[in-house]
Amino acid sequence: MSDHQALVLSEVRNKVGHLTLNRVAAFNAINLDMVRCIAQQLNDWATDDTVVAVVLRANGDKAFCAGGDIRELYNNAKEGNDLNQTFFSEEYALDQHIHAYPKPVIALINGLTLGGGMGLVQGASFRIVTEKARLGMPEVSIGFFPDVGGSYFLSRLPSEIGTYMGVSGNPIGAADALQVGLADWFLYAEQITELDRCLDNMQWGHSSQEAIRSLFNTLASKRASGSKLAPLRAAIEQHFSKDSVAQIIASLASETDTSIKPWCEELISTLRTRSPIAMATTLMMLRRAKNLTLADCFRLEYHLGSQWFTKGDFMEGVRALIIDKDKNPRWQPASIEALDPAKLDELFAGFQAQAI
């Protein structure tokens, strides 16, 4: 087994293809080798009549996938090679393929599922969360913006939840993922063994999709306890519907409900640690993405990403949080109030949605 194959394990049992992320020490962070391995296996299974469904899963109980390999992206940018362009192009193509995959895809979301991990699971037919699941798009914390289709799926969440998640970078748990539409079914982590037993013994009829849906109707639940966002939904919608990040912060600061105010104050403190240009770009991207197709959302993300390593805060964010670990990023500019709107216009300039 070669190194890149070891990063993703594959096997077929009872006509079900299982793809297992196997980079446990790195919280299954995804790199170009893994993207290519997953894409090749999905392509092979798409035309294999002996495979009727696919399961995406991961080894280890800490993370399904904690995102892209940001250290590798940082090193590529430092070296000045074109591997980051290649990575984003192939990763986005893989994520888009999962959205349109011709066979049912079951994503087992157990543990951290962030950034690039969300790109893998959000296109799946059946998104299963466990009590250990933490789903999020934390890119603004390292000076980047939500990509891998995040502009599409975040912009379509109810009550400005997607705007809140993208601009703040804060993750959510299983109960909230189910409520807002980022997951479909809940299973306790200890039930995964039973799920595997059922899949291994399934009698496949004419529709694998219906057979799997029936299985989850029996085995899983559509709800989970422990929602953190439910009492905050109205406040999130009120504050995150504003037209700029500065207005969002001002709105949070004006909150008068004593039961909500401490949460607002903590959130303002969080936003003040995030990259101003990343937050502002995220907000503008999500507003535009509401009216874009999935394919155009990926195109917009690629358009922004192709400029980001020279015009955005990614390199400084990774330096401060991952490389030097001083946790004191020197964002450019340092505050949202100092951000020149022309910088945003420059980033989005030249992007055109494709005619349908």
195 in any annotated domain: yes
Q: Report which of 180, 140, 155 is spatially closest to residue 294, judged by C-alpha positions.
A: 155
Contact 212, 126 (CB under 8 A): yes
With 90 as the cut, is the pLDDT of residue 5 above it? no
Identify the helix (H) or strand (E) that includes residue 216: helix 208-219
20 in any annotated domain: yes
Query: Which 3 state secondary structure label does DSSP give 272?
Result: coil
Gyration radius of the chain over CA positions: 20
* CATH code for the domain in which residue 209 is found: 3.90.226.10
Residue span of the structural domain in which 42 resides:
3-136+185-219
- Helix pair 245-253, 261-271: axis angle to 10 deg: 150
Strands across the sheet containing 16-21 = 8-13, 16-21, 53-58, 105-109, 126-129, 185-186
300 in any annotated domain: no
304 in any annotated domain: no
Residues with Cβ < 8 Å from 120, sequence gap 6 or more? 30, 38, 56, 65, 94, 95, 98, 107, 148
Contact 219, 194 (CB under 8 A): yes
Predicted local confidence at residue 205, as pLDDT: 85
127 in any annotated domain: yes
Largest CA-CA distance found in the chain, in angstroms, rounded: 62
Tell me how far apart the alpha carbons of residues 322 and 329 are, in angstroms, rounded to a whole number: 11
Could you report the per-residue pLDDT of 48-86, keeping only the tens digit for each? 999 999 999 999 989 999 999 999 999 999 999 999 999
89 in any annotated domain: yes
With 70 as the cut, is the pLDDT of residue 11 above it? yes
pTM: 0.95
Predicted local confidence at residue 206, as pLDDT: 85
80 in any annotated domain: yes
Identify the helix (H) or strand (E) that includes residue 351: none
Q: Report which of 211, 13, 8 is spatially closest to residue 125, judged by C-alpha positions.
A: 211
Contact 114, 65 (CB under 8 A): yes
Could you report the per-residue pLDDT of 297-333, keeping only the tens digit for each? 999 999 999 999 999 999 999 999 999 999 999 999 9
Predicted local confidence at residue 37, as pLDDT: 96
Predicted local confidence at residue 325, as pLDDT: 95
Predicted local confidence at residue 354, as pLDDT: 79
Domain count, the chain: 1
With 60 as the cut, is the pLDDT of residue 181 above it? yes
Average of pLDDT values for 35-49? 97
43 in any annotated domain: yes
Tell me how far apart the alpha carbons of residues 180 and 155 are, in angstroms, rounded to a whole number: 12
- Tell whether the torsion through CA atoms of 333, 336, 340 and 345 is positive or negative: positive
- Tell whether the torsion through CA atoms of 124, 125, 126 and 129 is positive or negative: positive
